[in-house]
Structure 1
C-alpha cells in the first residue's frame, strides 16, 4: 500500500495544510470507524472532532468546513488539518488511491444516468458474479453509497475481503451539498474510477434545484463519457432509445468504442423478449419483470457484459434468476397485485404508471407520498407527472389516487412542508384529478387495501415517505 504525506494530499485536493506534514499509513475513512494512521474525510469538523481524531491516532482530517475552534485546536495539538474548497476532490482522490492500491488490475464499469442506475449496476454485478469474478459494487438495496461524496466507496474497496477482479460502480449523475450543485460530479468520479466501460441509461429531469433543465442534466451526465482516459481503450454503452444519450456518441474520444443497446442495436427488445444479433436470447416470460424500464436496464446490463466478453450462458443464467433490489417494481402480493417501486422523479413516475397499467386486470390504485423537505419545484413536477401518467392511460382504464405525507414514519429531514403539500395537491386539483388524502402512510395503505378487489392493482411509488410501505402492509395484514 502506497504511503503518502499530508502535504502531497493537500496539493492533490487543492487544499491548505494546517499543522505538520505527516505520513498517512492507513486508509481513507469516517471519523467514527477510523483507526490509527487513517485519513478522515468530513464535510465539516469542529474542535471536538479534531480531539477525537487525535485520540484515535488519525493521520489527518480533510474538510471543507472547519467549525468552532477546529483550526485553533489542530494548531495547538499539532494535528494535520487539510481545508479544501471542494470536499468532492478529497473523495475523488480517495477513490483513485483505493483503486490504485487495492484494485489496480480489476475490470471497472461505471453506470450513470437519471433512471435505472441501481438496477443496471446490480444486474451487471450479478452477471459478473455468475461468471466467477470477485466483484465489488457500491449499489445496495437503498442505494446509499452511490453519491460518492463521502469516503464509503474508497473504504469498502480497501476493506474488500478478497482480491477485487471486477468493480461495478454506480455514480450519481447529479450531486449537491447544502443546496448547491457539485458541478461535474459524474465526470470527476468517473475519472477517479478510471473505468474500462461506462454505461449511460437515460437523461431526464431530477434533482430540481441543483439542475433546472434537461439541458443541465445532459451536461452533467455527458461528463462521464468525456472523462474516459486516453490512451486507454474504453467502451461506452449507450441507450439508443434515448435521443439525448444517443447524442453523447459525439463526445467520445478516439480510444473509446461506442456500443448501443435498444432499437436497432445488437441487443434489443421485441414483443417476444430480448434479442442478441437477431436471435432470441431471453424470452419475455423468463424475465423476472416485464416492465419497460426493467427491460431497458436488462439490455444495458447484457450489452455491458458482452462488451467484456462474458459468456452468454452466464448472462442468461444471471438475468433469468435475478433478484431485484428492494423497491424496483417488486411484486408484494398477487390478489390484489401490489407493486412497490422507487419511482420518485417525473420520468420514472410516468413510466412506472404506464408499466403497472399494462399488467393490471382491473382497477389501478396509485398510492404515493409527497416528497418532504425536497422543495416545491420537485413536488410540482412529480404531481404533473402523476397527472400525465394517469390521464395518459388507455381509455376505459379505471383508477383512483391516494396521497399521503407519511407523518407516522418520516424523520425530521423528510417532513413535508405546508408549501410542498399545497403545490402538490393544488396541481392535482387544477388538472381536475380526484384524490384521497391521508396524513399517515398506515391509513393511506389501509384505504388502498379496502378499495381494491382481487383483480385490481395497487401501485406504491415514491421515495422517503413510501420506503416503509411494504413493512406497513405486513402489519396491516
Structure 2
C-alpha cells in the first residue's frame, strides 16, 4: 500500500514525510501507540508533539489522527515524520478494519451484529456455537463491551494478533454499535460504514430503540443510523427481528426472520412457547435453552438464525445453544437465597424487559428490590427515559433503591447533580418511594441486609453497577 493511497482513502492531509517512515515500510498492522512496533500504523483521536516524538522513536510507519494539538504538526515537520490528518477518524478505523481483514483474514466468513439491545449476547452466542463446532473464530464481544465501539483500531489489532499467533481464521463475528460518536459528536452512518468494511456474509439486526441520547435525540434518528446497514451487507443475509416494527421497515435484499410467535416462512426461526421451531420441527425445548426470559430467547433466535444462514450443521447449532454460558452481567445469578440477579440493563427497553422478566420469578407476597445505578455523565435525557421506564415497570411488590456509585466510578462516569435530580423529580412526580445511596457498597449492603430469604434483588445499570459482583462477594 502506498501512503498516498491511504491518505486519499480516508480523505486525509499528509504532513511531514510523504513516504512511510520505517525502512521496511508498512507491516500491515494498525494499532495503538503504546503497542506499536517498527512499521506499524497508529490511529489516535488526538496527538500532541510528545506523541509524535514517541512515534518517531518507535520507528512506526505513520500516525493518523483527527485532532493534532500542542505542536504536533510542527514536530512532524521537524522530524520529517508522516502525520495524516483526517476530518473523520471513523474513516481511518473503517479503512484499518477492511485492510486488516483483506491482509490477515481474507478467507474468513464474516458476521456483523448491530441493534440497540441484545448485541453482545447474540454475538457471543454466535461465537460460542461456531467455536463449539470446531472452527477458528474471533469476536470483539467481551463481558465489559470494551471492544465493540470500533472508534479505535482495537478490532484490527485483535484480528492481526490472533492470526499471527494462532493461524488463519475461519470466521469473524463482529459486534457494531448501532450509534456511535466521539466527544458528543455523532459519527454518522457508523454501523453501515463498519459493516461495509467487514463485508459480511450474514448481518444481524436485533432491534431499534432509544439509547445514546445526545448523539441521537429521536427514534427516527436511530432508524436513520441503522437503515443503511442492509445496503452495506449487500448480497449477504440479514437476520431481522420480525417482532420489531422499525426493523421490519428496513429494506433487506435477503432477509431471514426471527420471532417470538409463529411465522409462516421458510426463512424463519421462531418460538412457540414450548421451544424453538425451524422448518416445522422443534429443534430445542424450553428445558434445553440456557435462558428462559423473553429478551434472551430473542437473542437465541437471532444467533440461531445467523448460524443457519451461515450453513452450519443443525446438530452443531443445537449443541452450541445447549452448552452456552452467559456473559457477565447478562441476567447473571449472583446468589440463591435471596436470589440476586445482575443485568446490564442501561436503556429504557432493557430496563423494562429485565424488570418484567424478574417479577415473574417472584413468589407471592414477596418483595423485588430493584437496585439501579444512575448513569453518570451521560446527560439528563437518557436518565429521564430510564427513570420513566422504571416508573412504567413499578409494581406493588417492588421496592426501588438507587445508587450514584460515587465510590466505584471514575470521572468519566460520575453522576452529575442534574442527572440525579431528574431521577428524583420524576419518581416524586409519580408518587414512587425510593431510597438513594451515594456509594454502591452501602447500597448493596443495606439492601442485602433488608431482603428476606425468598425475596429477589435485581441489579441494573451500566458502569455504576459493574463492580457489584465483587462487592457482594465481600458483603455476603
Shorter chain as denominator, the TM-score bin is: over 0.9
Q: Counterpart in 2 of 1:394?
A: none
Q: Distance in 2 between matches of 1:274 and 1:424?
A: 39
SS of the residue corresponding to residue 254 of structure 2 reads strand
Q: Distance in 2 between matches of 1:200 and 1:32?
A: 35
Q: Distance in 1 between matches of 2:83 and 2:6?
A: 11
Q: Distance in 1 between matches of 2:185 and 2:358?
A: 35
| Aligned structure 1 segments of 4 or more residues deviating by more than 4 angstroms | none
Whether the 8 Å CA contact 1:5–1:21 is kept in 2: the answer is no
SS of the residue corresponding to residue 298 of structure 2 reads helix
Q: Counterpart in 1 of 2:213?
A: 208
Q: Counterpart in 2 of 1:237?
A: 239
Q: Counterpart in 1 of 2:301?
A: 299
* CA drift at 1:22: 1.9
What are the superposed Cα offsets for residues 107-156 of structure 1, whole Å, 9 maximum, x if unpaired?
10000000000000000001111112100100011111111010001111
Whether the 8 Å CA contact 2:30–2:156 is kept in 1: the answer is yes
* CA drift at 1:73: 0.5
Q: Distance in 2 between matches of 1:133 and 1:109?
A: 14
- Is 1:99 the counterpart of 2:101? The answer is yes
* CA drift at 1:268: 0.9
* CA drift at 1:264: 2.8
* CA drift at 1:459: 0.3
Q: Counterpart in 1 of 2:254?
A: 257
Q: Counterpart in 2 of 1:359?
A: 361
Q: Distance in 2 between matches of 1:440 and 1:112?
A: 34
Alignment of 1:371-382 (within 5 A): 371-382=375-386
Q: Counterpart in 1 of 2:389?
A: 385
* CA drift at 1:446: 1.2
Q: Counterpart in 2 of 1:109?
A: 111
Whether the 8 Å CA contact 1:22–1:80 is kept in 2: the answer is yes
Alignment of 1:374-413 (within 5 A): 374-391=378-395, 397-413=396-412
Q: Distance in 1 between matches of 2:460 and 2:371?
A: 7
Q: Distance in 2 between matches of 1:434 and 1:274?
A: 40
Q: Counterpart in 2 of 1:416?
A: 415
Q: What are the ranges of 5 or more consecutive residues in structure 2 without an aligned counterpart? A: none
* CA drift at 1:277: 2.3
Q: Counterpart in 2 of 1:346?
A: 348
What are the superposed Cα offsets for residues 254-285 of structure 1, whole Å, 9 maximum, x if unpaired?
xx311101133331112212222232221112
Q: Counterpart in 2 of 1:172?
A: 177
SS of the residue corresponding to residue 32 of structure 1 reads helix
- Is 1:225 the counterpart of 2:230? The answer is yes
* CA drift at 1:309: 1.4
Alignment of 1:49-64 (within 5 A): 49-64=51-66
Whether the 8 Å CA contact 1:366–1:401 is kept in 2: the answer is yes
Whether the 8 Å CA contact 1:17–1:82 is kept in 2: the answer is yes
Whether the 8 Å CA contact 2:371–2:400 is kept in 1: the answer is yes
SS of the residue corresponding to residue 227 of structure 1 reads helix
SS of the residue corresponding to residue 359 of structure 1 reads coil
- Is 1:194 the counterpart of 2:199? The answer is yes
Whether the 8 Å CA contact 2:62–2:84 is kept in 1: the answer is yes
Alignment of 1:76-95 (within 5 A): 76-95=78-97
* CA drift at 1:451: 2.0
Alignment of 1:149-188 (within 5 A): 149-160=151-162, 161-188=166-193
Whether the 8 Å CA contact 1:19–1:74 is kept in 2: the answer is yes
Q: Distance in 1 between matches of 2:380 and 2:351?
A: 17
Q: Distance in 2 between matches of 1:314 and 1:220?
A: 34
Q: Distance in 2 between matches of 1:458 and 1:405?
A: 18
Alignment of 1:252-331 (within 5 A): 252=252, 256-262=253-259, 263-265=261-263, 266-331=268-333
Tell me whether 30-39 or 257-266 shows the greater mean CA deviation. Answer: 257-266
Q: Distance in 2 between matches of 1:25 and 1:209?
A: 38
SS of the residue corresponding to residue 157 of structure 1 reads helix
Q: Distance in 1 between matches of 2:285 and 2:453?
A: 28
Tell me whether 176-185 or 21-30 shows the greater mean CA deviation. Answer: 21-30
What are the superposed Cα offsets for residues 317-349 of structure 1, whole Å, 9 maximum, x if unpaired?
111110111100101111111110000001110
Q: Distance in 2 between matches of 1:401 and 1:285?
A: 32
Q: State the superposition RMSD in angstroms.
A: 1.1
What are the superposed Cα offsets for residues 425-456 of structure 1, whole Å, 9 maximum, x if unpaired?
11111111111111111111112212212211
Q: Distance in 2 between matches of 1:99 and 1:152?
A: 13
Whether the 8 Å CA contact 1:96–1:192 is kept in 2: the answer is yes
Q: Distance in 2 between matches of 1:303 and 1:372?
A: 36
Alignment of 1:424-439 (within 5 A): 424-439=423-438
Whether the 8 Å CA contact 2:262–2:272 is kept in 1: the answer is no
Whether the 8 Å CA contact 2:238–2:255 is kept in 1: the answer is yes
* CA drift at 1:95: 0.2
* CA drift at 1:414: 1.0
Q: Distance in 2 between matches of 1:273 and 1:388?
A: 29
Match of 1:37 among 33, 36, 39: 39
What are the superposed Cα offsets for residues 278-305 of structure 1, whole Å, 9 maximum, x if unpaired?
3222111222221111100000000110
